[in-house]
Amino acid sequence: MQDRRGYKGSSLKFLTKENLSTGDLLSIRKGSTEYVGSLLPRYEYADENYITIKLLNGYNIGVRVSNIESVSKLSDGTKPLFARPTLPTIDSSLPRIVVMGTGGTIASRIDYKTGAVHPAFSAEDIYAIIPEISTYAQIDTAAVLNYDSENIATREWSIIAEAIADKISGGADGIVVSHGTDTIAYTAAALSFALNGSPVPVILVGSQRSTDRPSSDAALNMIAAVLVASRPEFSGVYLAMHSSSNDDSVSIHLGTKVRKNHTSRRDAFESINIPPVAYVRRGEIRHLGIPNEAKAKRFALRMSFEEKVALLKFHPGFDPGLIDYLRERGYKGLVLEGTGLGHVSSKCYEPIKGAIQSGILVGMTSQCIWGRVRMTVYSTGRDLMNLGVIPLEDMLPETAQVKMMWALKNSQDLDEAKNIMTTNIAGELVERSPIDRRQS
């Protein structure tokens, strides 16, 4: 049976007439141009007058069927075969690095039948795809999870942290964790707390493009991650991703201060409020300095997280009833993403008061992303502090939420949790300078 999923109207008519089905390799002539690529299925909102072709260079284009002068089928659609290459010989004097797989684009392979990127994963796949990493380290691999990163949360953070702790106690000199980029920054924050004071580097790494793409960033990111993981000065939790759209430099970000700030660029990740701690370029590490406050004195494994912590972004028309809902559902913590220096509408005061009186920890961050909350400047901020809302300084909202999940699960009472939230643990909270530069 011919597969022409998603096509309708004139494009379906065209495919039927030409006897073409998705996956077929086609040569399409349109004016003086020839396009060679595989026919992809179309989706609901697609214009019915176009067919979609995945070009050999990896890009997809839409071609208007009425503009097609001629089409010929070069070959039938087939799924690509994946043959596992043999593993290289290992130099036993190199540092022992464990590369862990949790899912995500970095090791995904395109399914040519659908044109979509499926996170199909085993850490050995990475090793096979990027054999260069064996020049820096002895590689061991471990497939911990195989999840799209939007499905990774508290339970999975604990599983990853436990797998890492296990490898560290087994003698690993460094850990690389490959992870889908959607939530890799949340996981980096989670591991920064769960593995606080790690004696070895724990480097998270992702890829914005799958490895079949000519513009894939997977290899460069992974090589830099392994290199940094082999250096003891990076003990702690970091994230390695492209510094720019050029394929020549990788930024090493502190795990609690990094955010995905672009949906698709290779340099989507940025350190917020601080510079990256290092750049890796052509195998050389340029250190910019790891903040002192990011270095914990002892390795404390506290690997569980409280699920009942929400992150709510305030906006005009925000429904204060959402806060009541959380209280009624037995929530234990709430991080607000307020406006500006840390504000929400006065309509939220009563629900916030109720939440705090019910023993919910409520912290304030800013949706501005950069900068720090300062709740003493305007009366709105002071009103909220009087209700018991904790200003979370320059902490990223995402990091604050992860930290609160961790603080509530690893404290005896609310006061201790509150104290953890306002104390720097892993570089997430940089104190204001002694000169209190209000509004500066």
- CB of 341 closer than 8 Å to CB of 366: yes
Q: Does 321 bind a second copy (CB under 8 A)?
A: yes
Of residues 61-90, those binding a second copy (CB under 8 A): 61-62
Q: Using CB under 8 A as the criterion, what x/- string covers residues 341-380 for binding a second copy?
A: xxxxxxx------------------xxxxxxxxx-xxxxx
Out of 262, 286, 287, 295, the only residue in the binding site for a second copy (CB under 8 A) is 262
Q: Does 120 bind a second copy (CB under 8 A)?
A: no
- CB of 173 closer than 8 Å to CB of 230: yes
Residue burial 397-421, b: 16+ Cβ < 10 Å; e: rest: bbbbbbbbbbbbbbbeebeebbebb
Nearest to 184 by CA among 106, 110, 117, 124: 106
Closest distance to a second copy from the beta carbon of 122 (Å): 19
339 is catalytic: no
Q: Does 314 bind a second copy (CB under 8 A)?
A: yes
Task: Kindly tell me which of 213 and 281 has the beta carbon lying closer to a second copy.
Answer: 213
The tokens for 210 are 């799958």
For residue 266, the one-letter residue type is R
With vertex at residue 359, the alpha carbon angle to CA 353 and CA 364, rounded to the nearest 5 degrees, is 60
Alpha-carbon gap, residue 177 to 163, rounded angstroms? 10
Alpha-carbon gap, residue 93 to 5, rounded angstroms? 54
Alpha-carbon gap, residue 254 to 291, rounded angstroms? 9
Q: Does 112 bind a second copy (CB under 8 A)?
A: no
Q: Does 107 bind a second copy (CB under 8 A)?
A: no
User: What are the residues whose beta carbons fall under 8 Å from the beta carbon of 396, sequence distance 6 or more?
Assistant: 189, 256, 257, 259, 272, 365, 369, 428
295 is catalytic: no
Task: Kindly tell me which of 109 and 265 has the beta carbon lying closer to a second copy.
Answer: 265
Interface segment toward a second copy; rule CB under 8 A; list 17-25, 66-74, 294-302, 333-341: 333-341
Q: Does 265 bind a second copy (CB under 8 A)?
A: yes
User: What are the residues whose beta carbons fall under 8 Å from the beta carbon of 67, sequence distance 6 or more?
Assistant: 30, 31
Task: Kindly tell me which of 287 and 382 has the beta carbon lying closer to a second copy.
Answer: 382
Given 105, 183, 380, 399, which residue is catalytic?
105
Q: Does 45 bind a second copy (CB under 8 A)?
A: yes
Interface segment toward a second copy; rule CB under 8 A; list 20-28, 127-135, 260-268, 409-417: 260-268
Task: Kindly tell me which of 60 and 135 has the beta carbon lying closer to a second copy.
Answer: 60
Q: Does 213 bind a second copy (CB under 8 A)?
A: yes
Closest distance to a second copy from the beta carbon of 329 (Å): 7
Of residues 137-156, those binding a second copy (CB under 8 A): 148-154
Between the two ends of the chain, the Cα-to-Cα distance in Å is: 68
Tokens 């061991």 belong to which residue? 140
Q: Does 312 bind a second copy (CB under 8 A)?
A: yes
Tell me the catalytic residues: 105, 181-182, 260
